Amino acid sequence: MMRKMLVVSLVLVFMLVLSVPFTSAQMTAVGEGEGQVDIIAWAGYIENGSTDPNFDWVTSFEAETGCKVNVKTAATSDEMVALMNEGLFDLVTASGDASLRLIYGGRVQPVNIDLIPSWGTVDERLQNAPWHTVDVDGDGTAEHYGVPYQWGPNVLMYNTEVFTEAPTSWDVVFVEQTLPDGESNVGRVQAYDGPIHIADAALYLMTHNPELGITDPYSLDRAQFDAALNLLRQQRELVARYWHDAFVQIDDFTNEGIVASGSWPFQVNLLQASGQPIDSVVPVEGATGWADTTMMHVNAPHPNCAYQWLEHSISPKVQGDLAAWFGSVPAVPAACEGNELLGDAGCATNGFEDFESIKFWRTPTVSCGDERGDVCVPYYEWVTSYIAVIGGR
């Protein structure tokens, strides 16, 4: 019953997002701060030193601006969209599978980059990225609906005591097999608890079933989509848990015998720091990934503090410290040099040169974006279909 309620809830959220009127509201000046800023963020994205005193980019901001930072951690993009629909928050660190839903749903406002002095320092590959730069009002000029924050790949995390050599393929989490320690992978792997995981299955099929003709894991026609679902049904027989909470996944790798899963560099870093036998790899099939954008609610309660945070968020110090903490890549290339925590090799290690090879999360639509036209499976069907897979259907 709870699973059915979740299906209905997510579909309603998606339909609501599509029905909200567009807006072209944009601030023209930053005034005195309102005393606080409320942010929806991924785990580990906004640190105040309470987890590790070396990682704190909140305390200095609060002291300099008088804006107290309140953070609501979200585990999935769907949760972020649902929270933004409530209208109680100022900002959200949205990935590409949420950003366009928020833009076209009228839930976020265009950002005036003239009010962000450090905008010019943002990586040119991100400044006009299509997941946050859109001509919503149809005037021929695309508007910026956020400020790039961090980006990186979804890696294959594995236990080095089980895999004495790095696995080369995602098949260790998709196909039943005996692992190098002589034991089956059944019940020892995980998968992401979010509809966007369908894209990971599609990415795997691009290499292993080329006859399907998949060229974009987010633009799947019916036959391609059904093939991805069938692979995920096969995966379900292997999965011990569908994870969405980073800290629960960390515990599962530490205490519950999980040895392989798609993950984020954040979990890899924390597990390694605690002495666990963990490493990660991007397999031969490549990887999906996230390029996250800090976006402002159309009716942000504290817009002046929000703009001050947007500027603070792209300072080289914040960008470098966050990249070191999360294992991500800064949105500001200057952060790659001279950061004590990240180190001069940190950006290269985290994949700065891999931008073109990552299939960044994107909201699927009926438009395939190619000669096939409007025959691709839209996101709301990804939601209902993936919940059905998890439920054994």
Residue 281 located in a structural domain: no
Query: Same domain for 217 and 255?
Result: yes
Domain containing 147: what range? Answer: 2-152+289-360
Q: CA 368, 175, 255: angle at the middle one, nearest 5?
A: 110
Phi, psi of 369 (to 5 degrees): 80, 15
Query: Same domain for 115 and 79?
Result: yes
Residue 195 located in a structural domain: yes
Query: Same domain for 16 and 146?
Result: yes
Query: Same domain for 118 and 25?
Result: yes
Query: Same domain for 385 and 351?
Result: no
Residue 182 located in a structural domain: yes
The pLDDT of residue 187 is: 98
Residue 228 located in a structural domain: yes
Query: Same domain for 34 and 67?
Result: yes
Residue 243 located in a structural domain: yes
DSSP 276-333: -SEEEE--TT-EEEEEEEEEEBTT-S-HHHHHHHHHHHTSHHHHHHHHHHHT-EESSG
Query: Same domain for 234 and 295?
Result: no
Q: What is the pTM (predicted TM-score) of this model?
A: 0.87
Task: Encode the chain (393 residues) as per-residue pLDDT tens digits.
Answer: 434 434 444 444 444 444 444 444 578 999 999 999 999 999 999 999 999 999 999 999 999 999 999 999 999 999 999 999 999 999 999 999 999 999 999 999 999 999 999 999 999 999 999 999 999 989 999 999 999 999 999 999 999 999 999 999 999 999 999 999 999 999 999 999 999 999 999 999 999 999 999 999 999 999 999 999 999 999 999 999 999 999 999 999 999 999 999 999 999 999 999 999 999 999 999 999 999 999 999 999 999 999 999 999 999 999 999 999 999 999 999 999 999 999 999 999 999 999 998 999 999 999 999 999 999 999 999 999 999 999 998
Query: Same domain for 234 and 255?
Result: yes
Residue 164 located in a structural domain: yes
Query: Same domain for 26 and 100?
Result: yes
The pLDDT of residue 26 is: 78
Query: Same domain for 178 and 256?
Result: yes
Instruction: For residue 99, give Cα distances in angstroms to 78, 103, 134, 217, 258.
Output: 11, 6, 11, 18, 32
Q: Are strands 287-296 and 147-153 parallel, antiparallel or unpaired?
A: antiparallel
Residue 273 located in a structural domain: no
Largest separation between any pair of C-alpha atoms in the chain: 64
Residue 284 located in a structural domain: no
Query: Same domain for 348 and 219?
Result: no
Instruction: For residue 2, give Cα distances in angstroms to 9, 17, 109, 224.
Output: 10, 22, 33, 29
The pLDDT of residue 25 is: 58
Structural domains in the chain (count): 2
Asked if residue 128 lies in contact with residue 92, where contact means CB atoms within 8 angstroms, the answer is no
Query: Same domain for 192 and 71?
Result: no
The pLDDT of residue 27 is: 87
Closest CA to 380 of 132, 81, 21, 43: 81
Secondary structure of 339-392 as H, E, C letters: CCCCCCCHHHHHCHHHHHHEEECCCCCCCCCCCCCCCECCHHHHHHHHHHHHCC
Residues whose CB is less than 8 angstroms from the CB of residue 388 and which lie 6 or more positions away in sequence, other chains included: none
CATH number at residue 375: 3.40.190.10
